[in-house]
């Protein structure tokens, strides 16, 4: 039997090794297949896990569906916002309840493949503090790809990093390492840059990316411009003059 331990985030007694955190906003059609795929993939790894869904003010029944899952699977947890506060806020809410030693963050839209959790876990267990999935063949609209490329370039320029995909919806983190990071002001959105600037070991690994088959994205050009401004404001206080004399890159992407 696995010995019980104290969670590095909550300080509570727990035997959970892996927490999967899923921010949700109006993804009711994707949640059941996502749940099934996550359980199947993690079970193959043989890890004690929990699935932590944070519903960000959904209006389509997403929270009710997850609540049904909690009734049949004690590994499923649900947190709710009373209104839509944004993905960064949903992630911040989830971080307060993480019980695992390792944390995987995955979007709920099924564009990321739960089978790729294995490569992130492998990277974390090999010693990296942060492992992020870089979308090798991104299956989004041309406009979204261009916007994301510009957004990544701006963050890399400001932070002195060379990461390919700052805004991947599939990331892994050693939970104990989160204590070393200043994640206020929405900085979890630019986790790779913040972690690299803090001297942590960060790497990217190629992951699969699928077309969205259900639901719709809420990120258009107007939303992207707002996010760029928000991310720059979040990073600027962390970037000092020494940034211009060298790279803050924690590890070369692989």
* CA 148/CA 145 separation, integer angstroms: 5
**Structural domain contains residue 240:** no
pTM for this prediction: 0.85
**Structural domain contains residue 179:** yes
For 102, the 3-state DSSP assignment is: strand
The two three-digit tokens of residue 193, written as one number? 């840059």
| pLDDT tens profile 185-240 | 678 888 999 999 999 999 999 999 888 767 566 655 566 667 777 777 777 777 76
* CA 63/CA 24 separation, integer angstroms: 8
The two three-digit tokens of residue 8, written as one number? 């590095």
**Structural domain contains residue 254:** no
CATH number, domain at 179?
3.90.550.10
| pLDDT tens profile 48-107 | 999 999 999 999 999 999 999 999 999 999 999 999 998 889 999 999 999 999 999 999
**Structural domain contains residue 248:** no
> What is the per-residue pLDDT for 136?
79
**What domain count does the chain have?**
1
pLDDT at 146 over 90: no
**Structural domain contains residue 229:** no
Counting every residue written for the chain, the total comes to: 254
Q: Can you give the residue range of the structural domain that contains 62?
A: 5-139+162-215
The two three-digit tokens of residue 186, written as one number? 């929405």
* CA 100/CA 107 separation, integer angstroms: 18
pLDDT at 242 over 70: no
């Amino acid at each position: 039997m696995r010995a019980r331990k104290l969670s590095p985030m909550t300080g509570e007694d727990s035997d959970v090794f892996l927490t999967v955190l899923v921010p949700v906003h109006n993804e009711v059609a994707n949640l059941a297949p996502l749940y099934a795929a996550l359980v199947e993939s993690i079970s193959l790894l043989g890890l004690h896990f929990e699935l932590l869904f944070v519903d960000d003010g959904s209006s389509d029944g997403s929270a009710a569906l997850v609540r049904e899952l909690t009734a049949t699977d004690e590994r499923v947890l649900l947190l709710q916002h009373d209104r839509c506060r944004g993905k960064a806020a949903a992630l911040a809410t989830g971080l307060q309840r993480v019980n695992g030693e390792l944390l995987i963050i995955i979007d709920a839209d099924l564009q990321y493949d739960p089978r790729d959790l294995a490569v992130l876990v492998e990277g974390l267990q090999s010693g990296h503090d942060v492992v992020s999935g870089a979308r090798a063949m991104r299956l989004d609209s041309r406009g979204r790809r261009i916007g994301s490329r510009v957004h990544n370039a701006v963050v890399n320029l400001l932070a002195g990093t060379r990461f390919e995909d700052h805004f991947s919806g599939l990331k892994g983190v050693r939970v104990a390492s989160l204590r070393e990071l200043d994640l206020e002001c929405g900085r979890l959105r630019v986790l790779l840059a913040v972690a690299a600037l803090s001297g942590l070991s960060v790497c990217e690994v190629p992951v699969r990316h699928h077309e969205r088959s259900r639901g719709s994205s809420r990120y258009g050009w107007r939303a992207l411009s707002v996010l760029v401004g928000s991310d720059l404001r979040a990073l600027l206080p962390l970037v000092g003059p020494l940034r211009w004399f060298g790279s803050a890159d924690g590890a070369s992407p692989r």
